[in-house]
């Protein structure tokens, strides 16, 4: 029985192994969120190092720092890492840490499935990166256009790790999407109607639906690539009559919603941080929410804008150009509502707010260049140049501003300590300057005709100075990230205690003690308003009502708190199940011939071992008592 | 006072932007498509892009100006703060800022839709020069089918076209997806292996040598899969076609020795030189290598003393690691003789 009221005297002496075991078996959304966060941070550093390698190679014309095959692996892995492991990983981090608390729940709907999502994410990310050990990481670009992934043009293991790594990560995302849809629909506190849901949780809900519907399409495409490579099918074999554009359609039907999977949570973070640091409610809440819905819906009708140059014909290009431009409208609505939230507010420019404001600033630029790309005739020139590279870094790397806004904002709630403001501001300015000086000039390089994905370029085409300049500026971003690491370590060791509500927050997560207890809420709050906590503090009319800042259900007024709250018990089956699936997928990579580094038919042994572990864990999971 | 602050922000940023933008009106290099260009399509694309840049600059200044103004005006650095009015929204402004972006989007769609259809339909189809482009990892093959009744010219990495005439190119690939792009003449169209044969049309308004580049990632040497388009006066082009259709000169002296080595060392197994027994189809057709401005798919200059060719043949893997042409381990003397032979092929 995992109730918290066990007598203290009989608890076993805490040991380090026991501590590790508690993380390994945890099903607590907050601890899972912290594991996601740590993993994401590690990949942010790895992806950042890959970015620096790219910039070093491009620092001057005809550089020989990296050979072409290494460069192609590095830029591919940089993209895959930043998209699938950093931004998606961070979104999962925040969903886990914040959503259950924001909606007044004790945990997610399926805690063990939640643990499975994390472990699948971990093993999938390892699988994706494992190719480095063979010197054969994926080298086909993050969208791996067929037939470049076919075995006769690409016999190495890179595309196999690509296929299996992404497939594993997809399982994680779909499981987590289902979980958060169920959680947000069913586990809201009494009184929290949908239109009292905090905007971040709204965006988590839309993102979860996008993940559920988008990733299976990628899964289909990946299975086809896998069958082509392992079993000699002809899904993408042009010589056998296939049209390799099939892959592009499958990939982008996933890939464009994916962009909104990345950005909607960021917009959610901004919609939380900006009101809190303006001391005003979010302006136009229903419009911000509905524009998110509109973006999520439209995202399935724009995929071919990645394919204007593949020859779909003028009618298709016109339709997809216009649907894409339409996305500019709800995006504009969001930006204007954030700006209106600032208007006549009391802005406190703390680090989370600085990052949030910077997100608005850079995302606007990404939006403008996005509409330029939607303009088909212009895109015929822009596509596959550095103009696209500039565009998607202003969007996707721009999301990193929202990530840091979220980190600085929610860090104190989960660690109990504040991050240092001075170091935070140094981090911000280094990162903000470095970002704009690195990616800003890429717009010009694109307009000046520099194609993307070039491991080398000749001198004298007008590209030399800006490339050198960008390479230098990239190190400012790296330096900023180092300052953040110092800040994080410093905060964990000696940071100022945060208290329960350091920012004068508006939503339920600030109402519980810091760090939140395992059961989140001693008593599930009854919600009577949007921005429930704010209304409890200031009253519905925005007039401070002094006394009600206490946390109901905690402290002296409820001495028996925490007794007999049912919590799911820890389980090691999710981790073992994920390991089994991951091992089986690794075995599928090893089915490739011995000459390229696989095991040939011996790979089936590894596949079988993985399958056995999977069946064992699934069996154990099914019969595990609920409490 | 607010107005003053606003001008202080917006004024300088407009100034900086316009300096940045005017900087782009001169040609930065042979790949720059925002400066002066030479083809009808590229010109059309250029003005649409300029239109977008000005619209975008206006939106940029407006939004960032509003943001900066709000930050400066409403920041409260110190001290206890008063509670600002708790405004939850305003229906009229919501409608306003939904309608305004819609109008901007409309203003962009209006000129762009006709352009999409214009680019899909080559002008002067009857009188156009038709060429076939066959993309390979990592070089370009160009064919002029039936250029003179029943005769086809095949060249590599350098497409010659007559000034002023529409060129319609049919694109196909021998391996993976590539993209055909000559920024000064037109936008890009992807080259797809298999049954889908895309078309692109372009023209050159004035004589010159235009840079082309593969624009879709196609493997190890994607970065060095380039080509040139040479636009010649119509009479010059006709003369070139006649010269191409006549057999190459009989090799003499050092070139004779190179001609023999070309066969003995196996070059002819992969490369074709028309009018000789060398009819390999794996690598580029070398019949006019002597007159091309570059070797190795636009990577090395084909200088008169043959240094570029020498460096390439001596060790192709040093120039383009991963290229399909192996290092044959030829002695300097052999390479020199082969270069001497190839230089005569024009």
pLDDT tens per residue across span A127-138? 999 999 999 999
Burial of A513 (0-12, 13-18, 19+ CB in 10 A): middle
Residue B51 scores a pLDDT above 80: yes
Assess B183–A contact: CB distance below 8 Å, yes or no.
Answer: yes
Q: Is A120 helix (H, G, I), strand (E, B) or coil?
A: helix
Pairwise CA distance, residues B73 & A342, whole Å: 10
Residue B132 scores a pLDDT above 90: yes
Q: What is the mean pLDDT of residues A25-45?
A: 97
In the block, tokens 């005439």 appear at B165
Give the one of A67, A335, A376 whose C-beta lies nearest to B63's C-beta: A335
pLDDT of A567 reads 83
CA dist B58 → A222, A393, A490, B52, B232 (Å): 43, 21, 43, 10, 42
> Chain B contacts of A154, Cβ < 8 Å?
219
Whether A37 and A44 have beta carbons less than 8 Å apart is answered as: no
**Chain A residue with minimum CA distance to B28:** A462
pLDDT, tens digit (0-9, with 9 covering 90-100), for A345-391: 999 999 999 999 999 999 999 999 999 999 999 999 999 999 999 99
Residue A568 scores a pLDDT above 70: yes
Cβ within 8 Å, pair B49-A145:
no
pLDDT of A566 reads 79
Closest CA to A531 of A506, A500, A503: A506
Residue B64 scores a pLDDT above 70: yes
Instruction: Report residue A544's pLDDT band, with 50, 70 and 90 as the boundaries.
Output: low
pLDDT of A565 reads 79
Instruction: Report residue A5's pLDDT band, with 50, 70 and 90 as the boundaries.
Output: very low
pLDDT of A556 reads 41
pLDDT of A88 reads 97
Closest CA to B35 of B44, B23, B43, B26: B26
- Mean pLDDT across chain B, nearest whole number? 91
Pairwise CA distance, residues A563 & A565, whole Å: 6
pLDDT of A1 reads 39
Query: What percentage of chain B exceeds 70 in pLDDT?
Result: 91
Length of chain A: 627
**Chain A residue with minimum CA distance to B36:** A448
pLDDT of B14 reads 64
Q: For the CA atoms of chain B, what is the radius of gyration? A: 28
pLDDT, tens digit (0-9, with 9 covering 90-100), for B245-294: 988 888 888 899 999 999 999 999 999 999 999 999 999 999 999 999 99
Q: What is the mean pLDDT of residues A592-619?
A: 96
The encoded tokens of residue B340 equal 């001497």
Cβ within 8 Å, pair B116-A314:
yes
Assess B49–A contact: CB distance below 8 Å, yes or no.
Answer: yes
Pairwise CA distance, residues B54 & B37, whole Å: 19
Pairwise CA distance, residues B169 & B130, whole Å: 6
Strands B167-173 and B129-136 turn out to be parallel
Q: Which residues of A are catalytic?
A: 78, 107, 142, 172-173, 256, 258, 260, 271, 305-306, 331, 334, 452
Cβ within 8 Å, pair B196-A311:
yes
> Chain A contacts of B76, Cβ < 8 Å?
346-348
Pairwise CA distance, residues A476 & A283, whole Å: 35
Pairwise CA distance, residues B256 & B275, whole Å: 15
Q: What is the mean pLDDT of residues A260-264?
A: 96
In the block, tokens 């191409």 appear at B244
Q: How many CA atoms lie within 13 A of A111 on its CB side?
A: 22
pLDDT, tens digit (0-9, with 9 covering 90-100), for A105-153: 999 999 999 999 999 999 999 999 999 999 999 999 999 999 999 999 9
pLDDT of A623 reads 93
> Chain B contacts of A379, Cβ < 8 Å?
187
pLDDT, tens digit (0-9, with 9 covering 90-100), for A152-172: 999 999 999 999 999 999 999
The encoded tokens of residue A506 equal 């508006």
Instruction: Report residue A539's pLDDT band, with 50, 70 and 90 as the boundaries.
Output: confident
Pairwise CA distance, residues A364 & A391, whole Å: 11
pLDDT of A542 reads 60
pLDDT of A90 reads 97
Residue A523 scores a pLDDT above 50: yes
Minimal CA separation from A244 to chain B, in Å: 8
Q: What is the mean pLDDT of residues B107-116?
A: 93
Pairwise CA distance, residues A524 & A566, whole Å: 13
Pairwise CA distance, residues A413 & A491, whole Å: 13
Whether A200 and A220 have beta carbons less than 8 Å apart is answered as: no
Q: What is the mean pLDDT of residues A564-572?
A: 85
Element containing residue B161 per DSSP (H, E): strand B158-162
Q: How many CA atoms lie within 13 A of B324 on its CB side?
A: 16
Name the packing angle between helices A245-278 and A314-342 (round to 10°).
10
Minimal CA separation from B300 to chain A, in Å: 10
Cβ within 8 Å, pair B116-A241:
no
- Mean pLDDT across chain A, nearest whole number? 93
Instruction: Report residue A545's pLDDT band, with 50, 70 and 90 as the boundaries.
Output: low
Assess B328–A contact: CB distance below 8 Å, yes or no.
Answer: no
Pairwise CA distance, residues A56 & A74, whole Å: 12
Cβ within 8 Å, pair B67-A454:
no
Assess B99–A contact: CB distance below 8 Å, yes or no.
Answer: no
pLDDT of B249 reads 81
Residue B3 scores a pLDDT above 70: no
CA dist B336 → A50, A385, B248, B274, B333 (Å): 42, 39, 20, 21, 5
pLDDT, tens digit (0-9, with 9 covering 90-100), for B29-48: 999 999 999 999 999 999 99
pLDDT of B80 reads 63
Burial of A459 (0-12, 13-18, 19+ CB in 10 A): exposed
Task: List all residues of chain A from 316 to 355 with a beta carbon under 8 Å from chain B.
Answer: 317-318, 321-322, 325-326, 328-329, 332-333, 335-337, 339-340, 342-349
- ipTM score here? 0.93
pLDDT of A36 reads 98
The H-assigned helical ranges of B187-266 are: 234-245, 253-264
Start-to-end C-alpha separation, chain B:
74
Pairwise CA distance, residues A73 & A141, whole Å: 8
Give the one of B81, B177, B211 whose C-beta lies nearest to A279's C-beta: B81
């Amino acid at each position: 029985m995992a109730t918290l009221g066990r007598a203290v005297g009989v608890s076993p002496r805490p040991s380090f192994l026991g501590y590790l075991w508690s993380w390994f078996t945890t099903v607590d959304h907050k601890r899972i969120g912290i594991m996601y966060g740590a993993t994401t941070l590690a990949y942010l550093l790895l992806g950042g190092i890959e970015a620096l390698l790219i910039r070093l190679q491009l620092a001057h014309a005809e550089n020989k720092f990296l050979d072409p095959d290494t460069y192609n692996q590095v830029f591919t892995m940089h993209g895959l890492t930043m998209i699938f492991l950093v931004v998606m990983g961070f979104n999962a981090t925040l969903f886990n840490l914040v959503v259950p608390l924001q909606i007044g729940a004790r945990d997610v709907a399926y805690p063990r499935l939640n643990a499975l999502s994390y472990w699948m994410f971990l093993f999938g990310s390892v699988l994706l990166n494992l190719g480095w050990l063979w010197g054969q990481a994926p080298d086909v670009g993050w969208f791996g256009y067929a037939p470049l992934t076919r075995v006769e043009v690409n016999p190495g293991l890179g595309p196999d790790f690509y296929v299996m790594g992404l497939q594993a990560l997809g399982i994680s995302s779909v499981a987590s999407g289902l979980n958060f849809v169920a959680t947000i629909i069913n586990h809201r506190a009494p009184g929290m109607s949908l239109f009292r849901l905090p905007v971040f949780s709204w965006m988590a809900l839309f993102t979860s639906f996008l993940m559920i519907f988008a990733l299976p399409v990628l899964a289909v495409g990946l299975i086809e690539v896998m069958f082509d490579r392992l079993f000699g099918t002809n899904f993408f074999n042009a010589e056998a009559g296939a049209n390799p554009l099939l892959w592009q359609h499958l990939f982008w039907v996933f890939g464009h919603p994916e962009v909104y999977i990345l950005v909607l949570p960021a917009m959610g973070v901004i919609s939380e941080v900006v009101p809190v640091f303006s001391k005003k409610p979010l302006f136009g809440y229903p419009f911000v929410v509905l524009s998110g819905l509109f973006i999520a819906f439209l995202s399935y009708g724009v995929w071919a804008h990645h394919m204007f140059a593949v020859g779909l014909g003028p009618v298709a290009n016109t339709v997809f150009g216009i649907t894409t431009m339409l996305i500019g409208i709800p995006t504009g609505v969001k930006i204007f509502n954030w700006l209106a939230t600032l208007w006549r507010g009391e802005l406190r420019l703390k680090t989370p707010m600085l990052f949030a404001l910077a997100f608005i600033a850079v995302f606007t630029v990404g939006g403008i260049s996005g509409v330029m790309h939607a303009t088909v005739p212009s895109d015929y020139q822009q596509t596959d140049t550095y103009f696209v590279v500039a565009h998607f870094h202003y969007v996707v790397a721009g999301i990193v501003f929202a990530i840091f806004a979220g980190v600085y904002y929610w860090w104190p709630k989960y660690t109990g300590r504040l991050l240092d403001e001075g170091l935070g501001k140094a981090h911000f300015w280094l990162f903000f300057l470095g970002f704009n000086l690195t990616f800003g000039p890429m717009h010009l390089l694109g307009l000046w005709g520099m194609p993307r994905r070039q491991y080398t370029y000749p001198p004298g085409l007008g590209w030399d100075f800006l490339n050198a300049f960008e390479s230098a500026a990239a190190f400012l971003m790296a330096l900023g990230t180092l300052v953040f690491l110092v800040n994080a370590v410093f905060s964990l060791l000696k940071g100022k205690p945060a208290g329960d509500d350091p920012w004068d927050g508006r939503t339920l997560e600030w109402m519980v003690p810091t760090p939140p207890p395992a059961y989140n809420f001693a008593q599930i709050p009854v919600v009577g308003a949007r921005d429930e906590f704010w209304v409890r503090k200031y009253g519905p009319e925005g007039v401070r009502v002094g006394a009600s800042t206490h946390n109901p259900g905690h402290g002296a007024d409820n001495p028996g708190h925490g007794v007999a709250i049912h919590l799911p018990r820890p389980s090691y089956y999710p981790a073992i199940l994920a390991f089994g699936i991951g091992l089986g997928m690794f075995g599928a990579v090893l089915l490739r011939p011995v000459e390229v580094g696989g095991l040939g038919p011996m790979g089936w042994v590894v596949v079988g071992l993985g399958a056995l572990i999977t069946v064992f864990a699934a069996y154990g999971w099914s019969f595990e008592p609920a409490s | 006072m607010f107005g003053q602050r606003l001008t202080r922000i917006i004024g300088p940023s407009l100034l900086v932007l316009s300096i940045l933008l005017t900087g782009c009106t001169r040609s930065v290099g042979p790949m720059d498509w925002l400066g002066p260009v030479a083809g009808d399509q590229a010109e059309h694309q250029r003005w649409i892009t300029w239109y977008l840049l000005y619209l975008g600059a206006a939106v940029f200044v407006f939004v960032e100006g509003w943001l900066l103004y709000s930050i400066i005006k409403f920041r409260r650095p110190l001290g206890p703060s008063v509670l600002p009015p708790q405004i939850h929204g305003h229906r009229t402004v919501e409608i306003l800022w939904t309608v305004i972006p819609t109008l901007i989007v409309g203003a962009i769609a209006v000129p762009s839709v006709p352009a999409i259809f214009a680019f899909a339909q080559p002008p002067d189809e009857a009188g156009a020069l038709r060429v076939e482009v066959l993309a390979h990892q990592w070089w370009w093959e160009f064919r002029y089918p039936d250029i003179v009744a029943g005769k086809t010219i095949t060249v590599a990495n350098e497409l010659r076209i007559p000034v002023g005439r529409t060129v319609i190119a049919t694109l196909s690939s021998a391996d993976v997806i590539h993209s055909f792009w000559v920024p000064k003449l037109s936008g890009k169209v992807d080259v797809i292996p298999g049954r889908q044969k895309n078309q692109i049309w372009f023209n050159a308004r004035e004589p010159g040598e235009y840079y082309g580049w593969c624009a879709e990632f196609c493997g190890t040497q994607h970065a060095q899969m380039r080509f040139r388009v040479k636009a010649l006066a119509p009479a010059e082009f006709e003369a070139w076609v006649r010269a191409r259709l006549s057999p190459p000169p009989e090799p003499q002296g050092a070139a004779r020795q190179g001609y023999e080595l070309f066969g003995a060392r196996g070059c002819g197994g992969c490369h074709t030189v028309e009018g000789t027994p060398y009819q390999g189809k794996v690598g580029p057709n070398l019949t006019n290598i002597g007159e091309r401005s570059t070797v190795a798919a636009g990577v090395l200059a084909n200088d008169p003393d043959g240094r570029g060719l020498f460096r390439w043949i001596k060790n192709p893997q040093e120039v383009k690691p991963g290229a399909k042409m192996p290092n044959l381990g030829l002695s300097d003397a052999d390479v020199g003789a082969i270069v001497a032979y190839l230089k005569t092929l024009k």
